[in-house]
Amino acid sequence: MNVYDSFFSILIYIIRQKKLPRIFFPKTLTEKIFYLKLRPNLELSKLRTRVSDRIRVRDYVSQKKQHDILIPLLWTGLNLSKQEWDLLPNKFVVKANHGSKMVSIVDKKNTTYESICDEIKKWQKIDYYKKGREWVYKNLPRTIIIEELLNFENGIPPDYKFFCINGRVEFVQVDLDRFSKHKRNIYTRDFSLTNVKYQFEIGDDIKKPALYEDAVKIAEQLSTEFDFIRVDLYILEDKIYFGELTNFPGNCLEKFDPSSFDEKMGLKLRLLKK
C-alpha cells in the first residue's frame, strides 16, 4: 500500500472510529486487522488477494478438501448474452468478482435481461479498491459470477460470519433482516448470544443451527493459513455452503460496543511476523 492510500485509510479510520489507531503497536482486534491492511505480511499477501477473488477462492476451498460446500456455479464471464440468460433457471444470484456488496437476487418473473445487464455494467465500472483502499481488491478481474439460489424456508438464508483468530473460531456474527430492519448479533464460540453491539443494534436471539459444530470445523479448516480471516458460511437445515473469506471486515471501520470486547479479542490475535 502506497503512502497516499495509507493516509486515506488512516483518515477514514479516524473519522469513523473517532480515535487514532495505534498503528505501530496495535492492541484491539480492530487495530490489529487495520495493521494487516496497512502493513501486509508479504508471505500472506498473495493468498489474501487470491481468496478475495470469488472465482479463485473456489480452488482454495477445494484444496482444503471442502469442495462439497461450494454453491453450484451456473455461469461466469464478462458479458452475459441473451442466449445464456435464456438457459439460466428462473431464480439465481448474480455477483461481481472484484468487490463486496455487488450482489443481486434474480427472479425472471420480475427482472428483465436488459435490467440485469445494466446493473452488471454499473458494477464493472466500479474500482472497488479506490472506495476503501483495500489492496486485496486491486486489479481483480471484473468478472461476473452466477450461482444457484439457495432454498431457505424464510427466503434468504442467514450467513454466519466466523471470526477466526490464529486458526480458531473465537466469535460469530449473524446479520438479521439485512434488507429491512438490519440487526446484528455477536455469539460466543459455543453460540451464546452476547451483549456486544457491532455497528448495528442487537436482534432477537436465534436457535443454534443443527450443523453449527460442523460449520465451526469447516471455518477453522479454511482459516489455518491465516493469523486472521473471517469465514462466511450459510448453514441450512441439512447442508453447509461457503459464502466468502473476508480479510478486513467492514474495512476496519465498524465499532464494537463495549470496546472491552475489542480489546479482549485483540489480546488473542498473534500477528504473523513479516
- Domain end, chosen from 115, 149, 183, is at 149
pLDDT over 70 at 153, yes or no: no
Record the cell numbers describing residue 135, joined without a space.
489492496
For residues 162 and 233, is the Cβ–Cβ distance under 8 A?
Answer: yes
pLDDT tens figures, 97-120:
999 989 999 999 999 999 999 999
Q: Which residues pair with 235 in a beta bridge?
A: 240
What is the domain extent for residue 13? 1-69+156-274
For residue 6, give every residue at least 6 positions away whose Cβ sits within 8 Å of its Cβ, in sequence order, or none: 38, 133
Q: What's the domain count of the chain?
A: 2
* DSSP code for 30: H
Give the pLDDT score at 273.
72
Angle at 32 between CA 30 and CA 38, to 5 degrees: 105
Record the cell numbers describing residue 260, joined without a space.
472491552
Residues 166 and 38 in one domain: yes
* Mean pLDDT over each residue of the chain, to the nearest integer: 95
Per-position DSSP letters for 106-135, written without gaps between them: EETTT--HHHHHHHHHHHHT--HHHHH--G
- Give the Cα separation of 274 and 145 in Å (integer): 34
Residues 145 and 195 in one domain: no
pLDDT tens figures, 215-246:
999 999 999 999 999 999 999 989 999 999 99
Residues 56 and 86 in one domain: no
User: Among 85-89, 90-94, 155-159, which is the least confidently predicted range?
Assistant: 155-159
Task: Read off the amino acid at residue 56.
Answer: R
Neighbour tally for 122: CB within 10 Å: 11
